[in-house]
């Protein structure tokens, strides 16, 4: 079976929206109010949060308060632990080989089923995800296969194979798993544009750190100048 192209995956945020009563909070509306960076963070972390925590987050008025809330509740640590090479994929909703469990969940949410199988003397966990295509052509993951929104819409399941705390394969239901995927092989995680963006980000961070260090050093030298007067300097 040919791999289905996932057009635009509205990931953890959608899964969380479907998990909680719509009457409690209009998440779609609240999401649109957020700055892009805040929206990326909460989309990823919502899958771990309780309903009252999500409501409390959206009641906060600015980015600083929202970030502080996530730090105090411990969720921001998960966002910070996303590896640089995985962050663009988490934000875009693309599950790729090499992701760990948290990165997978922050990308597609919780699976509808987890089962374990055995290949070449290795235990492999299979995370099963249910998708449907909305009227705009977006691929939507949902934890509820009976979701009324998926009625009369194209539907399919994806299997994510997990071994040694990493994703080793992503297949549509019916495609055969290749045990050779269990072997440790180098994986190209970033395309040229993402790699360039990552390098530019690291360079900017290094330059900012260097400038800050030089500024502190300059302030220290300035404090030494014009300090205590030499003994007797005020004697006529």
**Nearest CA-CA partner of 9 in 75, 91, 65, 86:** 91
Kindly indicate the confidence band of residue 24, based on its pLDDT and cuts at 50, 70 and 90: very low
| Helix %, strand %, coil % of the chain (to 5) | 45, 15, 40
The conformational region for residue 98 under phi > 0 = left, psi -120 to 50 = alpha, else beta, is left
pLDDT tens digits for range 165-203: 999 999 999 999 988 888 866 555 555 565 566 566 667
Per-residue pLDDT, 129? 95
Asked if the model's pLDDT at residue 76 lies above 70, the reply is yes
The alpha carbon torsion through 202, 205, 207, 212 (nearest 10 deg) reads: -160
Per-residue pLDDT, 184? 67
Give the mean pLDDT of 106-121: 91
For 12, the token pair is 């953890």
Give the mean pLDDT of 123-144: 90
Give the mean pLDDT of 209-228: 63
Going 158 to 161 to 167 to 171, the CA torsion angle's sign is: negative
* Percent of the chain topping pLDDT 90: 50
**Lowest mean pLDDT segment, chosen from 8-12, 141-145, 221-225:** 8-12
- Select the highest-mean-pLDDT range: 16-30, 79-93, 176-190: 79-93
Task: Report d(CA 68, CA 57) in Å as an integer.
Answer: 10
Q: Provide the whole-model pTM.
A: 0.69
Task: Report d(CA 169, CA 47) in Å as an integer.
Answer: 22
For 58, the token pair is 């959206």
Kindly indicate the confidence band of residue 218, based on its pLDDT and cuts at 50, 70 and 90: low
């Amino acid at each position: 079976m040919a791999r289905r192209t996932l057009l635009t995956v509205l990931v953890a945020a959608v899964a969380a929206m479907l998990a909680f009563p719509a009457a409690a909070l209009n998440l779609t509306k609240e999401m649109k109010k957020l700055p892009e960076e805040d929206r990326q963070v909460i989309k990823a972390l919502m899958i771990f949060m309780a309903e009252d925590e999500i409501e409390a987050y959206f009641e906060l008025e600015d980015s600083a308060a929202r970030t502080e809330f996530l730090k105090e509740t411990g969720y921001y640590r998960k966002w910070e632990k996303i590896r640089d090479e995985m962050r663009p994929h988490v934000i875009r909703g693309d599950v790729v080989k090499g992701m760990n469990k948290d990165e997978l969940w922050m990308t597609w949410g919780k699976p509808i089923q987890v089962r374990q199988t055995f290949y070449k003397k290795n235990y492999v966990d299979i995370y099963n995800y249910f998708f449907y295509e909305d009227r705009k052509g977006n691929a939507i993951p949902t934890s509820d296969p009976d979701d009324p929104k998926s009625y009369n819409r194209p539907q399919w399941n994806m299997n994510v194979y997990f071994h040694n705390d990493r994703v080793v394969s992503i297949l549509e239901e019916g495609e055969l798993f290749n045990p050779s995927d269990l072997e440790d092989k180098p994986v190209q995680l970033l395309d040229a544009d993402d790699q360039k963006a990552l390098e530019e980000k690291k360079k900017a961070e290094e330059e900012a750190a260097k400038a800050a260090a030089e500024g502190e050093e300059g302030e220290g030298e300035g404090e030494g100048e014009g300090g205590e007067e030499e003994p007797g300097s005020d004697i006529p």
